[in-house]
């Protein structure tokens, strides 16, 4: 029942939802003395960050080997204490801790024959509405609106669209084009569907620009505006809040619950993005989501990586009263659909609670081996 081995597996794959760019993540495989296996993931995204995460996991492995995987909280604190000099709750160490922690939760669920969701205290709701999460990449606004509407026509409750990404969409740079895009997408999706706008790193809006866009989006009924001023501009968000009642989303770039507590305390975030593969795993996500719940903020899993992060996001979102929906990548991609036997998906727009034990997924190890980052 004790941890026998901890293996970091850096992988790379093409992501159709992200303009077919190559993405890297560091998977973590933890095996116990009975041969049971738990899987985790660090959402490191870039090859250099993935290799660095793997090196840190290798360095942390001796602290985990020989431990009881059910002691997730104790191990999590030990890993944070050990990495104090190079990762006091931030950076690559948080990725490494995230990957190890998710794998330990999966493993303990498998050992006990229960779901991670059970270990988290059970589901606080019967099902979760799902939305599409995608990037705008096409030059034609009509074509993008048609594509997005084709996804929501499957029952998905709306779409979160990334601006400022690869491709020719050129969104987030021109006010008239942005408003036309929003009008066309809302029109194509039809009544009852939500549109969320998510600014990318290629977009730079100053406060005045953010206020003008926010007011225009608000008039059009955009459900939330994500990272219009990046992740670290409390004064800018204060000004935006005073000028508009659009719901403001950010937080996915935080590394730990302390960071989430700081932005929640600012009073100017309504939807807090949380990535279990970044914010120190299931243990870290749970602490952060609890802060959101206590302060009546919405928490929202940044589910934009492989099927392992999706399974962790599913369990966490069902367990947290602060989570109201789950983002899904609507385009077929091997990291989502082929990596596991039962990928998280929706039925008529709703995701069911997970089944099985641990995270409820079995990993296609042949695919993992073929995707190893060299």
- Nearer residue to Mg ion within complex by CB, 260 or 340: 260
Which residues within the stretch 202-231 sit at the binding site for Mg ion (CB under 5 A)? 226
- Nearer residue to Mg ion within complex by CB, 37 or 197: 197
d(CA 357, CA 374): 32
Which residues within the stretch 127-156 sit at the binding site for Mg ion (CB under 5 A)? none
User: Of 27-35, 66-74, 192-200, 355-363, which part binds Mg ion (CB under 5 A)?
Assistant: 192-200
Position 198 contacts Mg ion (CB under 5 A): yes
Check if the beta carbon of residue 102 is closer than 8 Å to that of residue 276: yes
- Nearer residue to Mg ion within complex by CB, 226 or 233: 226
Rg, the chain, Cα only: 20
Q: How many CB atoms lie within 10 A of CB 369?
A: 10
- Nearer residue to Mg ion within complex by CB, 1 or 166: 166
CB of 4 to Mg ion, least distance (A): 37
Which residues within the stretch 296-315 sit at the binding site for Mg ion (CB under 5 A)? none
CB of 272 to Mg ion, least distance (A): 11
Position 254 contacts Mg ion (CB under 5 A): no
In this chain, which residue has its C-beta nearest to Mg ion?
198
What single string gives the DSSP state of each residue in 65-122?
A: TTS-TT-HHHHHHHHHHHTTTT-SSSTHHHHHHHHHHHHHHHHHHHHHTSBHHHHTT-
CB of 37 to Mg ion, least distance (A): 31
- Nearer residue to Mg ion within complex by CB, 36 or 278: 278
| Total of residues contacting Mg ion (CB under 5 A) | 2
User: Of 29-37, 39-47, 87-95, 190-198, which part binds Mg ion (CB under 5 A)?
Assistant: 190-198
User: For residue 276, what are the CA distances in angstroms to 119, 125, 281?
Assistant: 16, 20, 5
- Nearer residue to Mg ion within complex by CB, 41 or 198: 198
Position 275 contacts Mg ion (CB under 5 A): no
CA torsion 182→188→190→196, rounded to 10°?
Answer: -30
- Nearer residue to Mg ion within complex by CB, 196 or 257: 196
User: Of 6-14, 92-100, 198-206, 342-350, which part binds Mg ion (CB under 5 A)?
Assistant: 198-206
The H-assigned helical ranges of 17-82 are: 47-64, 72-82
Check if the beta carbon of residue 23 is closer than 8 Å to that of residue 139: no
Check if the beta carbon of residue 170 is closer than 8 Å to that of residue 139: yes
CB of 198 to Mg ion, least distance (A): 4
- Nearer residue to Mg ion within complex by CB, 151 or 302: 302
CB of 249 to Mg ion, least distance (A): 7
User: For residue 84, what are the CA distances in angstroms to 62, 94, 108, 170, 300?
Assistant: 16, 11, 26, 41, 28
User: Of 68-76, 125-133, 174-182, 197-205, which part binds Mg ion (CB under 5 A)?
Assistant: 197-205
- Nearer residue to Mg ion within complex by CB, 106 or 198: 198
d(CA 34, CA 105): 16
CA torsion 163→231→91→50, rounded to 10°?
Answer: 0
Let me know how many helices (H) and strands (E) the chain has, helices first: 13, 12
CB of 158 to Mg ion, least distance (A): 15
Q: How far is CA 62 from the centre of its chain?
A: 28
Residues near Mg ion (CB under 5 A):
198, 226
């Amino acid at each position: 029942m004790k941890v026998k081995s901890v293996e970091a597996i850096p992988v790379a794959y093409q992501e159709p939802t992200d303009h077919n760019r190559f993405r890297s993540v560091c998977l973590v495989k933890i095996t116990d003395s009975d041969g049971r296996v738990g899987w985790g993931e660090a959402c490191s995204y870039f090859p250099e960050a993935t290799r660095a995460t793997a090196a840190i996991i290798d360095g942390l492995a001796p602290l985990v080997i020989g431990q009881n995987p059910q002691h997730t909280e104790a191990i999590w604190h030990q890993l944070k204490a050990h990495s104090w000099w190079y990762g006091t709750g931030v950076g690559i160490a948080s990725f490494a801790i995230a990957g190890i922690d998710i794998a330990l939760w999966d493993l303990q669920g498998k050992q006990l024959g229960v779901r991670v969701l059970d270990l988290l205290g059970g589901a606080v709701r019967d099902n979760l509405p799902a939305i599409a999460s995608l990037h705008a990449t096409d030059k034609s606004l009509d074509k993008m609106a048609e594509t997005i509407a084709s996804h929501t026509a499957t029952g998905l409750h709306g779409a979160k669209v990334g601006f400022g990404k690869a491709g020719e969409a050129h969104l987030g740079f021109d006010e008239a084009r942005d408003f036309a895009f929003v009008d066309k997408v809302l029109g194509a999706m039809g009544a009852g569907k939500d549109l969320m706008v998510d600014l990318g790193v290629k977009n730079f809006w100053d406060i005045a620009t953010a206020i003008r866009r926010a007011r225009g989006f608000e008039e059009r009924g955009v459900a939330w505006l994500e990272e219009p001023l990046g992740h670290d501009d409390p004064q800018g968000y204060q000004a935006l809040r005073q000028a508009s009642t659009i719901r403001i989303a950010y937080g996915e770039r935080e590394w730990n619950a302390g960071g989430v507590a700081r932005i929640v305390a600012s009073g100017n975030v309504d939807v807090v993005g949380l990535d279990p593969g970044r914010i120190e795993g299931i243990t870290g996500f749970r602490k952060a989501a609890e802060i959101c719940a206590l302060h009546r903020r919405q928490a929202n899993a940044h589910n934009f990586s492989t099927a392992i992060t999706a399974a962790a996001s599913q369990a966490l979102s069902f367990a947290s009263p602060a989570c109201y929906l789950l983002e899904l990548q609507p385009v077929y991609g091997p990291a989502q659909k082929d990596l596991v036997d039962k990928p998280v998906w929706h039925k008529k727009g709703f995701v069911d609670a997970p089944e099985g034990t641990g995270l409820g997924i079995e990993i296609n190890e042949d695919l993992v081996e073929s995707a190893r980052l060299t």
